[in-house]
A and B are shown apart, each in its own frame.
Chain A
């Protein structure tokens, strides 16, 4: 008699526990579905939802994926294109997580995925992570790297310059000023690659004493 009673007791305890674990996931999925269903056609919504669910299981941030789908809808892109973009972003987020590690913030993963989308390799992102040191966020350096590429600085040059700045101890404020100066130089007609490299040397001259490294030569 003890066996069936114990089994009933265990079931009575296990059932609500399982229910409590399943409920938040179900509620989250429902909230996501509601957001997507108001903006996407049913076929696209189902496909996007599947990618989002898969990302959630892989412990990737899902908000960037939903935002990507919403962006596609806002720009009146067709369903297959939206699904393709969301899937691509999911892959890039996964790669970013592998490169940056489990401690990376959503913003870092998102910035890294965006940089990868612009053509930056996993190796260069790992180099940046290493150059920046363990305690520094790499969100802004990655955003600057992506911006340079968007302004026709070759990918290799953009990566090399930003990794060099991070290694030299450039702060986010230095990088913001660097990005602004390169942008203005290019708008005034400068060659993008030359502008990036020249402005980077200028930043390193200022940051070298701070980082205890030797400033580059007068070039």
Chain B
């Protein structure tokens, strides 16, 4: 069919006319929309009123009667909690000092090596483990050929230490700086552990 024929028959005019007609809403459509809008407005008003009531409750001046002993009791409870927290933190810090492997930020992994071909047991004792030669984290392992070594965490700082051979012989680390403190008859070694650079 040509374009001229379409115009002559008025087909296009009819289609355009139907398209121009506004859609007729169903009965009660306006009422439903208005009811919904009013509902939203009411909910917002309710919310606003609640907020205002809460604010008034908080902001309005009022007289509070407090007995001194109750304030004292509350303060005591608060401070007791703070003290216990401080105590706990301190106890933890001390434990950390005795068992440095627990923390990685304030400690570094250090390898201790001693050549002791005739030894049956080698351990490291020092400031960092309470001078406990039985501390499990500081027991050296025989690597063969008389070489004993252990890698353990040592807290940041200056420490004195010594090897303990066969639970009885105290031996300074031959590869570390010496400490001249013969208070207890043996020479110790020194180690300075620096904080980790991240």
Cβ of A183 to closest chain B Cβ, rounded Å:
8
Is B11's beta carbon under 8 Å from chain A?
A: no
B residues contacting A by CB (< 8 A) are 68-69, 71-73, 75-76, 79-80, 82-84, 86-87, 90-91, 94, 97-98, 125, 127, 130-133, 156-158, 160, 170, 177-181, 183-188, 190, 192, 194
Asked whether, in the complex, the Cβ of B185 is within 8 Å of the Cβ of A77, the reply is yes
Stretch at the interface among A14-22, A122-130, A196-204: A14-22
Q: A8-B68, A172-B194 are in contact. Are A71 and B178 (CB under 8 A)?
A: no
Tell me, in angstroms, the Cα distance from A196 to B69 when the chains sit together. 70
Q: With A5-B68, A74-B125, A150-B179 known to touch, is A19 a contact of B158 (CB < 8 Å)?
A: no
Q: Is the CB of A68 within 8 A of B183?
A: yes
Determine if A28 and B170 form an interchain contact, defined as CB atoms under 8 angstroms apart: no
CB of A189 within 8 A of chain B?
no
Q: Are B72 and A150 in contact (CB under 8 A)?
A: no
Contacting pair B79 A16 (CB below 8 A): yes
Report how far A75 CA is from B161 CA in the complex, Å.
12
Which residues of chain A have C-beta atoms less than 8 A from B91's C-beta?
A: 27, 31
Which listed residue (A16, A107, A119) contacts B157, Cβ 8 A? A107
- The answer for the CA separation of A173 and B91 in the assembled complex, in Å, is 35
Residue numbers in B under 8 Å from A77 (CB-CB): 183-185
Nearest-Cβ distance from residue A49 to partner chain B, whole angstroms:
15
Complex contact B76–A147 (CB within 8 A): no
- Complex alpha-carbon distance, A204 and B73, angstroms: 66
* Residue A205 CB within 8 A of the other chain: no
Query: Within 8 Å of chain B (Cβ to Cβ): is A67?
Result: yes
- Interface residues on chain A, size class: 35 or more
Q: B178 and A139: CB pair below 8 A? A: no
Which chain A residues in 96-122 approach chain B with CB under 8 Å? 105-108, 110-111, 114, 117-119
Interface contact A107-B69, CB-CB below 8 Å: no
Q: Which A residues touch B76, using CB under 8 A?
A: 15-16, 19-20
* Nearest-Cβ distance from residue B5 to partner chain A, whole angstroms: 98
Contact status B90-A67, CB under 8 Å: no
Q: Which residue of A lies closest to B85 (CB)?
A: A24
Name the B residues within 8 Å of A23 (CB-CB): 80, 83-84, 86-87
Q: Which residues of B contact A88 (CB under 8 A)?
A: 183
Q: Check A110–B71 contact: CB distance below 8 A.
A: no
Known contacts A106-B157, A110-B158; A70/B130 CB under 8 A: yes
Q: A13-B75, A139-B192, A150-B179 are in contact. Are A28 and B158 (CB under 8 A)?
A: no
